[in-house]
Structure 1
Amino acid sequence: MDRKEFIEKIDSKLKLIRNEKGFTQDKMAEIIGISKKTLVQIEKGRSSLGWTGAVAVCSIFKDSQVLQMIIGGDSEDIIPSLAFKSYEANYDNTMGGKIWWKVIKTQDDYKVQQNIITNHFRILDRKNRRICSSFEIEYIEKRLDELCANGGPQ
């Protein structure tokens, strides 16, 4: 998934997210900081939230089940991977990938997982804390080798 596809997915499900939360078009437009006219155009597929708007929707509605279904879990995982080439977090706790992730590789105290919806990768430690994420498997493999060789994050 790239930014364009991410934005298109958020655009296409904006009405479902709004309905899930029980908001009118007026209220939803106010919440995400756009005009009602723009919201109507987005919901009809004639306009777009763009990168900033899509990120805002993900941030504001991160508990949305609709949103989780279209991006394969937590938006806090994919957005940094789309914003940066590769992303190193402050070792945020995760649920360990029970729903949206498949384990690609395990090595020492680490596991590499791939999201089944977006196909991006991440490394988790033995406590299921996110070490890094990226769409580039080469970066993930290199980072895993570094972690294992150095005995942990540096």
Structure 2
Amino acid sequence: MNREQLITLISEKLKLIRTEKDLTQDQMSNLLGLSKKTLVQIEKGRIQTAWTTTVAVCALCRESSILQHELGGDPLEIVDLIANNGTLQPKEKTMGGYIWWKNLSEYNGYRLQQNAISQHFRILDTNNYRLLSTFDESLAEQEWEKITV
């Protein structure tokens, strides 16, 4: 997934996300710092969200089941990956990847996984802490080799 794809996805799902949060257009436009007219234009598919609005939706609606389902987990992880050119270094503890993640390889409790929806890769340690997240398969494999040697 890249920036343009995320912007398109958020633009297309914004009305559903707003409805899921039980917000009026006035409330949502205030939350995002948009005019109501701009929000209506986005919801009607006439314009797309800007990158900053996309990031705001992902941050402020992080718990949205619609967003989590569409992105295969935490929306902010996807934003962070895109903003950091596709690679994240060690971060917070994960749930271990039992819903949206496919284990590609395991070694001594470490796991190389791929997200079923966004297709990005990550390496988890034995305690489910993320050691790496990236869209770059070759980088994921390189880092995996360092662990398994």
Q: Is TM more than 0.5 here?
A: yes
User: Where does residue 110 of structure 2 map in the other structure?
Assistant: 110
Please tell me whether the aligned partners of residues 86 and 132 of structure 1 are also in contact (alpha carbons under 8 angstroms): no
Number of the residue aligned with 1:39: 39
Are 1:75 and 2:75 counterparts? yes
- SS of the equivalent of 1:104 reads strand
The runs of 5 or more residues in structure 1 that have no matched partner are 150-154
TM-score by length of 1: 0.90
- C-alpha separation in 2, matches of 1:115 and 1:34: 32
Q: Deviation at 1:146?
A: 2.5
Q: Identity over aligned residues, as a percent?
A: 45
Structure 1 residues 60-99: aligned runs within 5 Å? 60-99=60-99
User: Which consecutive residues of structure 2, in runs of 5 or more, have no partner in the other structure?
Assistant: none
**Alpha-carbon deviations, 1:45-103, whole Å to 9, x = none?**
11111222111100001001111111111113212221123433343111111111111
Cα contact 2:10–2:54 (8 A) shared by 1: yes
TM-score by structure 2 length? 0.93
Amino acid at match of 2:132: C
Query: 8 Å contact 1:94–1:129 — kept in the other structure?
Result: yes
Q: Give the structure 1 partner of residue 143 of structure 2.
A: 143
Q: Which amino acid is 2:44 matched to? A: K
